Amino acid sequence: MHSFVYRANVLLTLALTILALMCVIASFSDNFNFPSPSAEIQIVKFNGFQKKPPGNDEVSLTMNITADLQSLFTWNTKQLFIFVAAEYETPQNSLNQVSLWDAIIPAKEHAKFWIQTKNKYRFVDQGSNLRGKEFNLTLHWHIMPKTGKMFADKLVLSGFRLPEEHRRG
Amino acid sequence: MGWIGDTVDSVKSIQIRQLLTQAVSLARQAVMILRRVWTLIGNCCFAKHIQFSIREETAVLENSYLVSGFILSARISVVLRHLLLVPGMIVTSALIIWKALMCITGSESPVVVVLSGSMEPGFKRGDILFLHMSKDPIRAGEIVVFNVDGREIPIVHRVIKVHERQDTGEVDVLTKGDNNYGDDRLLYAQGQLWLQRHHIMGRAVGFLPYVGWVTIIMTEKPIIKYILIGALGLLVITSKD
């Protein structure tokens, strides 16, 4: 006869195998979600635009963010990490991505929102190239799953332009 | 889908020569280990039937484990074989999985355990992250694992700023933990403002909750490790062929 420990061992192994298989299936099922998120960002005003001591341009701004990201949620979604980044090109750098604001959306109910906010992180350039600069505001989202593969995508909103001259608050 | 492409790229990007030597040595190791394991399994399962025919080989094997001196009776040698078998199987399968993951992901440490709460509520202590290292440029929002000079333990945080050079393609990267108030400049080496490419060990692509607790518990409470190993050994000895 098989001993108790032996039976417990077999049971545990089987349980773990099934659990692992379910994780794989849950993660795989995310591939069949074809989301259609929408977002809009307006810059309300530039609060400040200065050249700070080491010689880097710094911008401070207020923006309106409207977004509907409910379709990104599936049954395997734990949370959504979203952020808005200013993206632009300078003579020195082929790409600059500066995160301005971010948020964690814990549930589908909170995924349709409107917010007016100042930039949460400093908008500082490497150098002084921002006068009159055209830039994109990109809404990125990173889907954190309950288990399995992480997905990420973005929505590029273009046509923003910084003031021609430095100015104080 | 993109991930599969990445994987193929990363597999391709390993120098062919290096890949070949790696594959050959890996295969050789695997074959050797598997042969031993299977011999041992064979011994255990069919000990009664074919013990005579493979006695010589068994002796050689046990020689190699420096236990030949202890083989006084058949019973002891069976027990010993068992004792070697289970840890052997566990270790070899772990090794095979680890090496395979290294090949597929192109990262030196393909799996990391989250130790701090700086990425909560996304990643909690004890969760496991699967890393992937590809040639793709690093972009804002990605979760990267990086080493800071003078710190032993790698850190898993999110990239919030990227500046990529026009001419050389080098990147300056700034990271931040989702649950931390400020960015990571306080964690970097004295006077360091940006991370460069060589600091970054990989980016997180997959996630598995809770599994890392096994390692955390075993490192922090070694006694549990010994109890577990002992229990496994006992199980093996007491269970019948």
Task: Give the DSSP H/E element, type plus range, for residue A7.
Answer: helix A4-29
* Residue A80 CB contacts under 8 Å (≥ 6 apart), including other chains: A69, A72, A73, A104, A105, A111, A141, A142, A143, A144
Least confident of A84-98, A153-167, B206-220: B206-220
Name which of B153, B151, B154, B164 is nearest B194 in CA terms: B164
Burial of B145 (0-12, 13-18, 19+ CB in 10 A): buried
Q: What is the pLDDT of residue B75?
A: 54
User: Which residue in chain A is spatially nearest to B129 when comparing CA positions?
Assistant: A148
Residues of chain A contacting B208 with CB distance shorter than 8 Å: 23, 147-148
Reported as a pLDDT band with limits 50, 70 and 90, residue B214 is confident
Q: What is the reported pLDDT for B149?
A: 86
Say yes or no: B139 contacts chain A, CB-CB below 8 A.
yes
3-state secondary structure of A90: coil
Q: Output A45 or B87, whichever has higher pLDDT.
A: A45
- pLDDT band for position B6 (cuts 50, 70, 90): low
Percent of chain B with pLDDT over 70: 59
Q: Which residues of A touch B123 (CB under 8 A)?
A: 144
Helix, strand, coil percentages for chain B (3-state, nearest 5)? 50, 15, 35
Q: B161 and A99 in contact by Cβ < 8 A?
A: yes
Give me the percent of chain A exceeding a pLDDT of 90: 77
Q: Residue A159 pLDDT > 70, yes or no?
A: yes
* A149–chain B Cβ distance below 8 A for any pair: yes
Q: Is residue B235 over pLDDT 80?
A: no
Sorting pLDDT into bands at 50, 70 and 90, what band is A22? very high
Rounded mean pLDDT, B48-54:
37
The shortest C-alpha distance from A45 to chain B (Å) reads 23
Question: pLDDT at position B116, please?
Answer: 85
Taking a C-beta distance cutoff of 8 angstroms, is the pair A61, A130 a contact?
no
Which of B164, B167, B194, B232 should one mutate to test binding to chain A, selecting the residue with the greatest count of A CBs within 10 A?
Answer: B164
pLDDT at B152 over 90: no
% residues pLDDT > 70 (chain A):
98
For range A44-60, the mean pLDDT: 89
> What is the pTM assigned to this prediction?
0.72
Name every chain B residue with its beta carbon within 8 A of the beta carbon of A84.
Answer: none
Active site (annotated) includes residue B127:
no
pLDDT at A146 over 80: yes
- Of residues B116 and A6, the one with the higher pLDDT is B116
Instruction: Check if B239 contacts A (Cβ < 8 Å).
Output: yes
Contacts of A71 (CB under 8 A, 6+ apart): A33, A35, A36, A37
Q: What is the pLDDT of residues B176-202, one digit of tens each?
A: 999 888 888 988 888 889 999 989 988
> Any idea where the domains of chain B sit in the sequence?
2-105, 111-210
CATH classification code of B111-210: 2.10.109.10
Residue B211: the pLDDT is 86
Q: How many helices (H) and strands (E) does chain B have?
A: 6, 6
CB–CB contact A92 B207 (8 Å): no
Nearest to A94 among B160, B166, B235 (CB): B166
Provide the mean pLDDT of chain B.
Answer: 73
Most confident segment among A65-69, B61-65, B119-123: A65-69
> Average model confidence (pLDDT) for chain A?
91
User: What is the predicted ipTM?
Assistant: 0.88
Q: Is B157 a known active-site residue? A: yes
- Put simply, the answer to whether B172 touches A146 (Cβ < 8 Å) is no
Q: Which of B118, B132, B134, B199 is catalytic?
A: B118
B182 and A CB contact within 8 Å: no
Distance CA A115, CA A86 (A): 17
Calpha distance A39→A63 (Å, rounded):
13
For residue A3, give the 3-state DSSP assignment: coil
- The model's pLDDT over B69-119, given as tens digits with 9 standing for 90+, comes to 334 445 555 666 666 666 667 777 777 887 887 777 777 778 888 888 888
pLDDT above 50 (res B155) = yes
